[in-house]
Structure 1
Amino acid sequence: MSVTNARWNRARATLMGLAMGDALGMPSQTLPRSAIQAHYGRIEGFVAPFHGHPVSHGLRAAQVTDDTEQTLLLARRLIAHPEGFDHEAWAHDLLEWEAAIRAKGLSDLLGPSSRTAIDALLAGASSEESGWRGTTNGAAMRVAPVGIMTPPEVETVVARVVLTCRVTHNTGEAIAAASAVAMMVSCGIAGRDLDAALNYALEACRLGPLAMQ
């Protein structure tokens, strides 16, 4: 297998694994262990959320959430501008995606930081300031495409992560987490072993908040 084919297969497996894990976790998201056990017992496959689920109501078994949808949305934006990142276009992507989610009656799928940022954008805030309160995991959950497209060089990975976080998660903790995830993915795509990848990820996590200044 050529290096190119190996990287392609790893990239494909990254996105497929993300989507499958998202679908497996969908019925239990936000729930404490006691509620999961009461409603499902032990989840060992794709199951539908129970009626009245606080977040996943309306979804079917094996259906993904905003985690996967925003990951693919970001991937398309990065493919459109591989040498840079258009914040205004990304903000527009998120607004269009939000409208589509609302049309499906699934607005509760949005995380709190993305919700706050989108509300700010709709109220007229710029894409430079809309993410100032984004401290949750939304940036990390969707950042895999940055790791897929970027060589495992810490400063390069972190710089791209910072750009993609600005609209919704422009805070040190969010950028630190997203930098660590993107760096792990980048190392995996390059074929590096787990121990080496962890060291790079920790370095990226430390650098992330500093790079946003």
Structure 2
Amino acid sequence: MDQLKQDRLADRIKGVLYGQAVGDALGMPTELWSVSQIRRQFPVGIRDFETGPRTNAIAMNYLRGQYTDDTSQALIILDSLRANQWQVNPTDLAQRFLTWAESVHAFEHNILGPSSKAALLAIQAGRDPQSATKTAVTNGCAMRIAPVGTLFTPDQLPELVSLVVAITRVTHATDVAFSGAAMIAGAVTAALADYDWSAVMDWASLAGDAAKRLGTPTWAASPQARLRLGLEIARATQDDVGEFTRQLRELVGTGTAVSESVPAALAVAYYTQDIRRCALLAANLGGDTDTIGAMAVAVCGAKQGYHHLPMGWGSLIDRQNPQQHLTTYVTALLAGRHQL
């Protein structure tokens, strides 16, 4: 690969990492709030990074520009993969999740999602977590997976699905969990390869279809079908953002279920096709705003690259989250692409 292509690829991988963190941090103050709650606290909406309001039981634990468990867990996954030659070691990954959770008092502060919390508490107690993982239909599996998509090219669909499933199985083992996580990772892979936006969505669905067959069957709605609906809404409302967000909330959903938040995030990325617009729309959407933002902006970051990030956003993320250095993961992911 010539240097120009290598630099472009590195910029896009950096765009995924910072996109994840930006969408997470911008959406944090409004997490799990309705639109009316958002407007009461922020009358003109979220227009910049904000400290988590004291009235938001989850966001109150975070300062302006800090990202949440979505990005923290994404980086934990990368740390575990790097330490194990880019292979999944479930015991190591679970222990890293537990160590992090205990260090930030995640169980006490209600930081973890319900599926991850149940699985990790079982592991912590020395019990088999399958009673939790085989029924897990919430989005902790997908919120943290976007950077894994940077390790692959579109001709590596089986390899991508295999790695996503192995990672996801630690806390989520259902058909929709595997499907939703593969859709987000797959969208990143396709966007990184500079597929057009329609092809990115098609490839995300293809990855979801391949992964779904490997999980425990559930009653949950199909994320792929909901994505098709979300894309129809996006195309029909392209000149009316208010109508787009209204229909997306009412027909696709923006809650914590994989079947809502994953298709909503991909529809938001498709609708905005821009890091800044995507991040701000997600933060004001209502529902699981930090997770939808993390997933959606990561996909936009893969497509556009870090250099499209608004001035000052990247430095704020670095300054407010000194426990990790996102730029160091770019080099590691570039190396990892050659080992898989």
Q: Same fold (TM over 0.5)?
A: yes
**2:160 match: secondary structure:** helix
Residue in 2 that maps onto 1:118: 120
**2:63 match: secondary structure:** coil
Q: 2:13 aligns with which of 7, 11, 23?
A: 11
Q: In the TM superposition, what whole-angstrom CA distance separates every residue of 1:153-212 from its partner, at most 9, and x where no partner exists?
A: 222211111000011111111111100000011112222222222211111111112134
Residue in 1 that maps onto 2:149: 147
Q: 1:43 and 1:187 mapped to 2: Cα distance?
A: 30
With normalisation by structure 1, the TM-score equals 0.92
Residue in 2 that maps onto 1:91: 94
1:48 partnered with 2:51: yes
Q: 2:148 and 2:212 mapped to 1: Cα distance?
A: 17
**1:169 match: secondary structure:** coil
Q: Which structure carries more relative contact order (alpha carbon 8 Å, separation 6+)?
A: 2
Describe how 1:128-167 pairs up with structure 2 within 5 A: 131-152=133-154, 153-167=156-170
Cα–Cα, structure 1 residues 202 and 54, in superposed 2: closer, same or farther, change >3 Å? same
1:169 partnered with 2:172: yes
Residue in 2 that maps onto 1:37: 39
**2:185 match: secondary structure:** helix
1:178 aligned partner, one-letter code: A
Cα–Cα, structure 1 residues 142 and 89, in superposed 2: closer, same or farther, change >3 Å? same
Q: 1:151 and 1:106 mapped to 2: Cα distance?
A: 40
1:98 aligned partner, one-letter code: A
Residue in 1 that maps onto 2:69: 66
Structure 1 residue 81 displacement after superposition: 2.4
User: In terms of mean alpha carbon deviation, does 13-22 or 1-10 score higher?
Assistant: 1-10
Q: 1:30 and 1:46 mapped to 2: Cα distance?
A: 17
Q: Percent identity?
A: 30
- How many pairs align? 212
With normalisation by structure 2, the TM-score equals 0.59
Q: 1:49 and 1:105 mapped to 2: Cα distance?
A: 18
Residue in 1 that maps onto 2:60: 57
RMSD value, Cα: 1.9
